[in-house]
Amino acid sequence: MTILVDDPLWPAHGRLWAHLVSDDNLDELHAFARAHDLPARAFDLDHYDVPEEIIPRLLAAGAQHVGGKELVRRLIGSGLRVPARDRR
């Protein structure tokens, strides 16, 4: 079980955002997010959107940094990926 975070490349609300996922299960992801004070509203079906400035704290807590393509590949491999067609 691994928590993964990618590069903060997504601009919104005056900052850059990254994605935080689990390569195993959502319970693990939610527990990690709660332990690091990520709000529930940051969860988007299969990942949390996280602002650039908290990434060092997440890495120090054990999240593994990966590139965006690797993050998506591992999320798909876990079976947790929600395809774009199934989003809102």
pLDDT tens column, 24-83: 999 999 999 999 999 999 999 999 999 999 999 999 999 999 999 999 999 999 888 988
- What pLDDT does residue 82 have? 84
| Amino acid at position 23, single letter | D
- How many residues appear in the chain? 88
For 6, other C-beta atoms within 10 Å of its C-beta total 22
The pTM score is 0.91
For 23, other C-beta atoms within 10 Å of its C-beta total 21
